[in-house]
Structure 1
Amino acid sequence: MINKQSQRGFGIIAALIIVVMLSAFAAAIMRATGGQQAAANLDLLSANAMQAARAGTEWGLFRALVQNNCNVNQQLNFRAVDRFSVTVNCTFIRVQEGETTPGVPLKKRIYTIDAVACNTAGPCPDNAAAATPEYVERRHVATACATEAGGAC
Structure 2
Amino acid sequence: MTARRAGGFAYIAAIIFLVVLAGFALAVLRLSETEQVTVNQSFLGTRASLAARTGLEWAFYKLKAKDATCDTVKTVPDFRTDTGFTVNVGCATQTYDEGLGADGKTVKKVIFELTATACNGSVCPGTDADVANPDYVERKRTASICVASDGTDCY
User: TM-score range with shorter-chain normalisation?
Assistant: 0.7 to 0.9
Which is worse superposed, 96-105 or 78-87?
Answer: 96-105
What residue number does 1:152 align with?
Answer: 153
Distance in 2 of aligned mates of 1:20 and 1:73: 62
The unaligned stretches of length 5 or more in structure 1 are none
What residue number does 2:85 align with?
Answer: 84
1:104 to 1:127, Cα distance in 2 relative to 1, 3 A? same
Say which SS state the counterpart of residue 74 (structure 1) adopts: coil
Task: Give the CA deviation at 1:134.
Answer: 2.2
Is 1:94 the counterpart of 2:95 in the alignment?
A: yes
Distance in 2 of aligned mates of 1:82 and 1:96: 40
The number of equivalent residue pairs is: 150
What residue number does 2:4 align with?
Answer: 3
1:137 to 1:12, Cα distance in 2 relative to 1, 3 A? same
1:23 to 1:81, Cα distance in 2 relative to 1, 3 A? farther
1:28-107, aligned counterparts within 5 Å? 28-66=27-65, 68-71=68-71, 73-101=74-102, 104-107=105-108
Over aligned residue pairs, what C-alpha RMSD do you find? 2.4
Task: Give the CA deviation at 1:91.
Answer: 2.4
Percent of pairs identical after alignment?
Answer: 35
Normalised TM-score (structure 1):
0.84
The unaligned stretches of length 5 or more in structure 2 are none
| Structure whose residues are more often strand by fraction | 1
Contact 2:64 2:152 in 1 (8 A): no
1:42 to 1:65, Cα distance in 2 relative to 1, 3 A? same
